[in-house]
Amino acid sequence: MGRLNWWPETSPSLVGSLLGCLADRSPETEGRPQRRPRSFSTAGLVLLRTPPERGHEIWCRCDGGPHGFLSIAAHAHADALSLEVRHDGVDILADPGTYCYHGDREWRRYFRSTRAHNTICIDGRDQSVSGGPFMWTKHAHSVSLRDEAIGNGDQAWAGAHDGYKALPGGGVRHQRVVRLNVDQGTLVVSDLLRGHGTHEVELFFHLGPEIAASLDDGSAQLTWSVGSSTRSATLALPRDLTWSAHRGETEPRLGWYSPAFGERVPSTTLVGVGTVRGCLKLDTEMRFGEVVSSIPHAMGVGR
């Protein structure tokens, strides 16, 4: 493939020299980009993040990409329009991971499911239809609708998917808009559901395993430690939904995180349940706060 002209020089090795002889040398390519890329269009991934000079980076990964590779999409998860959010590298809203491939079909099914990701589930169904542990027979099709810098460093992304278009009683289209306000240190997630008939809605927010949560009056207070300091955030949740917190539950499975293959640990999952009739808009705001002095032992979901 040839090397980019900005790559550092390295000492040659026997294997490297042999592979270099076999490679198709491409012409000189453009230099190293001046800024870190935010958008990876072929994967459908967009990163919203505060600039390094602001300190305490807010980082958000938005997923509006294809369901998976080829028709069976063997390693795909039903995670259209899901999010990950990190603060100073700490998982606040986390992707739960994979956990296992074989040996326990129910755990495999859970970690691949829509309910295991930071997105919306309709009528208790996955967005895509599974045909087994390494097969999907029907794919949700996602598209990124918007990706732009707004001004003052603010960034926004929007996406949509059609995974629920064939539901009995009429389909539902899910559209999500995410906006990062750099000056205020806030992340706003707006979900719009449009469809026909009446359907049950579940909105999931899976917290990282280090995050303690206290759920009260339509908002969740989040706290976690970084070294000797303690950080906090407030998650203002949509009041059209009824909210509950779950941690390390098995009937049904909910509130789990896999830090490595074959490992799982309890984590807190916030679940909002409601109903959509025609159209429903749900707004969630995450606001990061100052350092606090202690972690409250709330709801038994502390570290």
What are the tens digits of pLDDT across the range 232-245?
999 999 999 999 99
Identify whether the C-beta of residue 267 lies closer than 8 Å to the C-beta of residue 257: yes
Q: Return the pLDDT at 303.
A: 39
Domain assignment of residue 32, yes or no: no
Domain assignment of residue 33, yes or no: no
Of the chain, the end-to-end C-alpha distance in Å amounts to: 47
Looking at residue 101, its amino acid is Y
What are the tens digits of pLDDT across the range 64-78?
999 998 889 998 999
Neighbours of 61 (CB within 10 A): 20
Domain assignment of residue 140, yes or no: yes
| 42 burial type by CB count under 10 A (0-12 exposed, 13-18 middle, 19+ buried) | exposed
Measured distance CA(234)–CA(256) in Å, rounded = 21
Using DSSP, state whether 221 is helix, strand or coil: strand
pLDDT along the chain (303 residues), means of 10: 72 73 57 80 91 88 92 92 96 96 92 97 96 92 89 89 91 97 94 95 97 94 92 96 97 96 96 96 93 49 45
Q: Cα angle vertex 215, ends 209, 219, to 5°?
A: 110
Domain assignment of residue 7, yes or no: no
Q: Return the pLDDT at 12.
A: 73
Query: Which domain covers residue 197, as residue numbers?
Result: 39-288
Domain assignment of residue 298, yes or no: no
Domain assignment of residue 154, yes or no: yes
Domain assignment of residue 77, yes or no: yes
DSSP string, 55-103: SS-EEEEEE-S-SSSTTT-TT--S-TT-EEEEETTEEEE-------SSS
Measured distance CA(140)–CA(130) in Å, rounded = 11
Q: What's the domain count of the chain?
A: 1
Domain assignment of residue 271, yes or no: yes
CATH at residue 213: 2.70.98.70
Q: Return the pLDDT at 298.
A: 46
